[in-house]
Amino acid sequence: MAAPKKVQQRLAALRKEIDHHNYRYYVLDDPEIPDAAYDRLLRELQEIETNHPELITPESPSQRVGASPVTAFQEVRHAVPMLSLSNAFSNEETSDFDRRVRERLQVDSVEYTAEPKFDGLAVSLRYENGKLVQGATRGDGTRGEDITQNVRTVSTIPLHLLGTNYPAVLEVRGEVLMSIAGFAALNERQRANNEKVFANPRNAAAGSLRQLDSRITANRPLEFFCYGLGEVVGRELPALHSEILELLRHWGVRVAAETKVVNGVEGCLTFYRDIMQRRDSLPYEIDGVVYKVNRLDQQEKLGFVSRAPRWAVAHKFPAQEEMTTLLAIDVQVGRTGAITPVARLEPVVVGGVTVSNATLHNEDEIERLDVRKGDTVIVRRAGDVIPEIVSVVAAKRKKGARHFRMPTHCPVCNSEVVRLEGEAAARCTGGLFCDAQRRESIKHFASRRAMDIEGLGDKLVDQLDDSGLINDIADLYTLNKQDLADLERMGDKSAVNLLAALDKSKNTTLARFLFSLGIRLVGEATAQTLASHFGSVEDLQAADLEALQLVPDVGPAVAESIRAFFHEKHNRDVIKKLRKAGIHWPKPEVVNKSKQTLQGKIFVLTGTLEKMTRDEAKQALQARGAKVTGSVSKKTDYVVGGKDPGSKYDKAQQLGVRILDEAGLRKLLK
């Protein structure tokens, strides 16, 4: 009975789509869809062909391993075909595999070698008399590409086998991959050079190994692991797959340390659970484990189906990449004011977890991905990492999809959003007012180098915020004893102490006050310079960009950050409330260039000074134009050492940096 027309049409569509994705994956090294989506297409095709075997043709993707190689490399014909593996996606399917193996062998139990399934590029390495003479890709399983010059650059591939007594011809089969750390470093380098950023380690490894210029391959962090053999001539090998792997180790070929011999299906599943649990701590990515019948005579008896051995199966992990639809792009405001775009997704299970949101990092990342509302996207989740969109399936984009635009005003407080030159993140400028930033701004305001409010720690700030007692930093000075005593773990004595600390903090310096406001890019040294240059908050607030850039060490980015902060009425209102609450300072000494006797000199303070505090010494140095830093380097001009100076003193001696005691410092300041 002929298959229904709809079935035939679906079969034709599946074959066409799978061929297209094979080409993208094997030839271009630029897959459009994740492996899980490809596996579903292939499985649907196989089910139709199983139900209608008369429709199977030799050209069907189910009868092939990959795709034809491109013509840029010389063709290599594999003496022994490089076949693919059948997949198991559940414990039940793994049990079915074991049952079929036992039934065909007519035994009660089978010993397996269990190995991690690497997510890289399959290659064949041909050794003749111990020397590496050829490297090839898998290609379509029968014909691959000659990549000898490229594999010779991979440090973990031996150019000559170790020891003696190896076969005259030995074809080593394995996987070239990129470690997680190597992948991260490569992408960082690519971004810095404005070059292509890779979606995942597998794509990066494949793209690196198939470069026409082997010098590029040599600069990529590629690694190799062996998992089996192809052609062997001139020596009889052990009867067990596990013993062959041990022999290969002896000859200097790298084999995964996690490889283990197990008994029966329970041994397989125990191995699977163990590797699954350790997956996130492994230095490389794996997408499952592989079970292989250990005895070679049993492998031979089991034989092959059209594209895979009957004696092995890949037990896949839950997919870490999946396809779904991008419903919307929202923005979130972080505790430091960073505006982060967030993708709202059609819920999809990725890595065993339902994902409905994914980070888009920043505006540059959205532009790089060219992601738009309504797009079909590939979402990735590895371990505990926040899910992220790795690519867009451009072929599925609807007409009229619009580009995303970053909001010009904060969605929380409506303050202006600015992006400073040289920074990837856009930020809300309402630092003293924005609800999203309140806790962080209070913690900074109270810190020792800012307003130095003793007893106002992180937990108490969280309590005050949760209780609704404070809406901004100025509200700290409206707190009363009863408000504080009612808080958990406070009591009357703690409340009185905190109120005393708040009152004490009102007497400060303009430099400390400016630093305490948490203006982006304004650290202690810049705050001191601004205080000395302008002499008042009012004059600083009124300064335009040109006036700000007349201040030493204030460039365009710092000037824009200061301007944006004071441009917000909310921030100016909070400052007025702080002044009204009684915060005051002596008028700072305005910069007198004739007194800038230490202009440009770099100092480091270490140890305890007797006649002044380190903060006082720092202010005195800064008033004379010096810079005070926290670490010693060759650029340091002076290290001032007090009592118990520590390692900075030792490093200054090693580098030959001039060292002053307190008396020497006081003399220099005079």
The string of pLDDT tens digits covering residues 320-350 is 788 999 999 999 988 788 999 999 999 998 8
Please report which confidence band the pLDDT of residue 475 belongs to, taking 50, 70 and 90 as the band edges: very high
pLDDT tens digits, 559-590: 999 999 999 999 999 999 999 999 999 987 65
Q: Which three-class secondary structure string do you get for 566-585?
A: HHCHHHHHHHHHHHHCCCEC
Q: How far apart are CA 428 and CA 331, in angstroms?
A: 11
pLDDT for residue 609 is more than 60: yes
Q: How far is CA 214 from CA 151, 154, 207, 532, in A?
A: 9, 10, 12, 58
pLDDT value of position 43: 85
User: Which among 117, 260, 316, 618 is annotated as catalytic?
Assistant: 117
Q: Between these two residues, 172 and 458, which has the higher pLDDT value?
A: 172
pLDDT value of position 595: 65
Question: What is the sign of the dihedral through the CA atoms of 202, 208, 209 and 211?
Answer: positive
Q: How far is CA 28 from CA 36, 66, 70, 210, 213, in A?
A: 19, 12, 9, 10, 16
pLDDT tens digits, 113-164: 999 999 889 999 999 999 999 999 998 888 999 999 899 889 889 989 988 8
Please report which confidence band the pLDDT of residue 302 belongs to, taking 50, 70 and 90 as the band edges: very high
**For residue 290, which of 317, 312, 271, 275 has the smallest C-alpha distance?**
312
**Cβ proximity of 433 and 413 under 8 Å:** yes
pLDDT for residue 295 is more than 90: yes
pLDDT for residue 63 is more than 70: no
Kindly give the interhelix angle for 458-467 and 438-446, rounded to the nearest 10 degrees.
Answer: 140
Out of 65-74, 79-88, 477-486, 489-498, pick the least confident: 65-74
Q: Between these two residues, 620 and 13, which has the higher pLDDT value?
A: 13
Please report which confidence band the pLDDT of residue 25 belongs to, taking 50, 70 and 90 as the band edges: low
Q: Give the 3-state secondary structure of residue 54.
A: helix
First to last CA, the chain: 106
Out of 28-37, 83-92, 240-249, 546-555, pick the least confident: 28-37
**What average pLDDT does the structure give for the chain?**
88
pLDDT for residue 190 is more than 90: no
Q: What is the dihedral of CA 321, 29, 171, 158, to 10 degrees?
A: -90
pLDDT value of position 168: 95
| CATH code of domain 321-396 | 2.40.50.140
**Cβ proximity of 288 and 255 under 8 Å:** no
Share of the chain above pLDDT 90, in %: 47
pLDDT tens digits, 587-606: 876 555 556 788 878 899 99
**Cβ proximity of 252 and 158 under 8 Å:** yes
Please report which confidence band the pLDDT of residue 92 belongs to, taking 50, 70 and 90 as the band edges: very high
pLDDT for residue 28 is more than 70: no
Who's near 187: CB < 8 A, 6+ residues apart? 197, 198, 204
Domain boundaries of the chain, sorted by first residue: 5-63, 75-316, 321-396, 436-580, 594-669
pLDDT value of position 623: 76
pLDDT value of position 327: 94
pLDDT value of position 83: 86
Residue reference for tokens 């394995």 = 174
The residue-averaged pLDDT of 43-54 equals 87
pLDDT value of position 565: 92
Is 0.75 surpassed by the pTM of this model? Answer: no
Q: Is 197 left (phi over 0), alpha (psi -120 to 50) or beta?
A: beta
The residue-averaged pLDDT of 25-44 equals 77
Pairing of strands 638-641, 658-660: parallel
DSSP 232-278: EESSPPPSBHHHHHHHHHHTT--B-TT-EEEEHHHHHHHHHHHHHHH
Share of the chain above pLDDT 70, in %: 95
634 is catalytic: no
Please report which confidence band the pLDDT of residue 29 belongs to, taking 50, 70 and 90 as the band edges: low
Pairing of strands 312-316, 111-118: unpaired
pLDDT value of position 382: 64
Question: Bridge-partner residues for 117, per DSSP?
Answer: 288
Q: How far apart are CA 220 and CA 197, in angstroms?
A: 13
The residue-averaged pLDDT of 49-59 equals 82
pLDDT for residue 31 is more than 80: no
Residue reference for tokens 């007519």 = 106
DSSP code for 284: S
**Cβ proximity of 48 and 10 under 8 Å:** yes
pLDDT tens digits, 237-252: 999 999 999 999 999 9
Q: Which CATH number fits domain 5-63: 3.30.70.1020, 1.10.10.10, 1.10.287.610, 3.40.50.300?
A: 1.10.287.610
DSSP 576-625: HHHHHTT-B-PPPPPP-GGG-TTTT-EEEEESB-SSS-HHHHHHHHHHTT
pLDDT value of position 507: 95
Domain 436-580 listed as CATH 1.10.150.20: yes
Q: Which helix (H) or strand (E) holds 15?
A: helix 5-22
Name the CATH superfamily, with its identifier, for domain 75-316: DNA ligase/mRNA capping enzyme (3.30.470.30)
Which fold, 594-669?
Answer: Rossmann fold (3.40.50)
E strand segments, 494-581: none
